[in-house]
Homo-oligomer: A and B are copies of this chain.
């Protein structure tokens, strides 16, 4: 039973959970509705998925992992959807290739809306009928966290759909934008002495399997930057020839730079003066955090700065002290990273929101890690190779979704996500 692993202590059972279910599901629809139907079909790159696929996949997740397992004699809404909306669960069966999601015109957006409604109905019925079933509640909670992940991806991917249009004035939401900054906090490195730390998810409370078990780690002394790297700082790196200085780069990074022709962050204009945002093209804010850089670029920038990236344990150690969680998350509605406002009373900025922060840590299992049982075991564990950890959420992450132990993970060449840089140093 997943309950042992998810270990949620105080369950939002029955009406409470149903209410949350309705809220989260409606939020997904609201995000999609700002897009034209055409925008919801296209897959701009292999990493991204069409909006309508996100709408269908999150629904299938509830159908397959909750209804099909918990409702006796359950008949799927449409048996052919499984092949289309199964993302990567090989133990369930074969699936439509990820890179070809943009080749499917059907089901249409309207058909997927119907699918969502029918599953919502069945799921709410089930919740009502089994309002004391904590295993069920755990599964639904997992499904809602999964849905929140896809809300974030929906926005991330839609940005690339719109950016791929050579017609320059397309915006997801023309009013989305952080206030333009006139200054930012001066860069400082906060010292942390050597010692044990504990990282990973505490029970009780929802967390993904990859955040567990909580365990001790030994940290050598280190220093962590008080804020993110800014556009101005990154532009200086570019202008200093950063992209053409081999000694700054990891070997595979240099290959990526040369093969892909990278010479600036994704979504920047060639003149380094403007950037594409969910609010459309905007002048680059020099004080705002740089965004849409690969791990390779983050590491090269760090080398150029005579610094390095933090490990995930170093990051989490600092983040545990930076609660409650506040920051430029989705709820600000800015949908773009914002500058750290100078404030003499603050010690550290931007740990939450703005951009996911690349860590120096390969995405690996924690000691004694156990994946969820059954097909849900494919959720996280099988990706623990070739990827790097990113932490802290971004400007399109729902606040409720992020926590100190949250581990996101990306390939080092990924740039389509809201990914940025915080520096660290050996003490």
In the complex, whether A240 has a CB less than 8 A from a CB of chain B is no
In the complex, whether A107 has a CB less than 8 A from a CB of chain B is yes
- Which residues of B sit under 8 angstroms from A162, Cβ to Cβ? 105-106
In the complex, whether A250 has a CB less than 8 A from a CB of chain B is yes
In the complex, whether A84 has a CB less than 8 A from a CB of chain B is yes
Q: Do the beta carbons of A84 and B166 come within 8 Å of each other?
A: yes
Q: Do the beta carbons of B360 and A39 come within 8 Å of each other?
A: no
Q: Do the beta carbons of B253 and A44 come within 8 Å of each other?
A: no
CA distance A88 to B246 in the complex (A): 11
In the complex, whether A41 has a CB less than 8 A from a CB of chain B is yes
- Name the one of B44, B165, B360 contacting A364, with C-beta atoms under 8 angstroms: B360
- Which residues of B sit under 8 angstroms from A40, Cβ to Cβ? 38
Shortest CB distance A358–B (Å): 12
Per-residue CB proximity of A94-138 to B under 8 Å, as 1/0?
001000001111111100000000000000000000000000000
CA distance A102 to B104 in the complex (A): 11
In the complex, whether A276 has a CB less than 8 A from a CB of chain B is no
- Which residues of B sit under 8 angstroms from A385, Cβ to Cβ? 250-253, 295-296, 299, 412
In the complex, whether A382 has a CB less than 8 A from a CB of chain B is yes
Residues in A202-253 with C-beta less than 8 Å from chain B = 215-218, 220, 246-247, 249-253
CA distance A385 to B295 in the complex (A): 10
Q: Do the beta carbons of B218 and A168 come within 8 Å of each other?
A: no
In the complex, whether A167 has a CB less than 8 A from a CB of chain B is yes
In the complex, whether A254 has a CB less than 8 A from a CB of chain B is yes
- Which residues of B sit under 8 angstroms from A170, Cβ to Cβ? 106
Q: Do the beta carbons of A251 and B295 come within 8 Å of each other?
A: no
CA distance A141 to B225 in the complex (A): 39
In the complex, whether A83 has a CB less than 8 A from a CB of chain B is yes
CA distance A170 to B111 in the complex (A): 13
Q: Do the beta carbons of A104 and B164 come within 8 Å of each other?
A: yes
Q: Do the beta carbons of A165 and B106 come within 8 Å of each other?
A: yes
Shortest CB distance A411–B (Å): 9
Known: A105-B41, A247-B91. A218 touches B220 (CB 8 A): no
- Which residues of B sit under 8 angstroms from A196, Cβ to Cβ? 218
- Name the one of B39, B251, B362 contacting A88, with C-beta atoms under 8 angstroms: B251
Q: Do the beta carbons of A42 and B44 come within 8 Å of each other?
A: no
Copies in the complex: 4
Shortest CB distance A158–B (Å): 9
- Which residues of B sit under 8 angstroms from A305, Cβ to Cβ? none
- Name the one of B104, B246, B426 contacting A368, with C-beta atoms under 8 angstroms: B426
In the complex, whether A90 has a CB less than 8 A from a CB of chain B is yes
Q: Do the beta carbons of B41 and A38 come within 8 Å of each other?
A: yes
CA distance A358 to B326 in the complex (A): 42
In the complex, whether A367 has a CB less than 8 A from a CB of chain B is yes
Q: Do the beta carbons of B107 and A386 come within 8 Å of each other?
A: no
Q: Which residue of B lies closest to A42 (CB)?
A: B105
CA distance A168 to B251 in the complex (A): 29
Q: Do the beta carbons of B105 and A247 come within 8 Å of each other?
A: no
Known: A90-B246, A246-B91. A103 touches B386 (CB 8 A): no
In the complex, whether A80 has a CB less than 8 A from a CB of chain B is yes
Shortest CB distance A410–B (Å): 13
Q: Do the beta carbons of B367 and A105 come within 8 Å of each other?
A: no
Q: Do the beta carbons of B251 and A80 come within 8 Å of each other?
A: no
Extra contacts besides A80-B166, A215-B220 (17): CB < 8 Å:
A36-B106, A37-B38, A38-B52, A39-B106, A42-B102, A42-B103, A80-B168, A84-B166, A90-B247, A91-B247, A103-B164, A106-B162, A106-B170, A107-B167, A217-B218, A251-B382, A362-B364
Interchain Cβ contacts under 8 Å between A and B, 26 examples = A37-B108, A38-B106, A38-B108, A39-B106, A42-B104, A80-B166, A83-B166, A84-B166, A104-B164, A105-B161, A105-B164, A106-B162, A106-B170, A216-B218, A220-B368, A247-B377, A249-B382, A250-B384, A250-B385, A251-B385, A295-B385, A296-B385, A299-B385, A360-B365, A362-B362, A362-B364
The 10 tightest CB contacts between A and B, nearest first, are: A362-B362, A90-B246, A218-B218, A38-B105, A39-B105, A106-B165, A251-B382, A41-B41, A220-B367, A368-B426
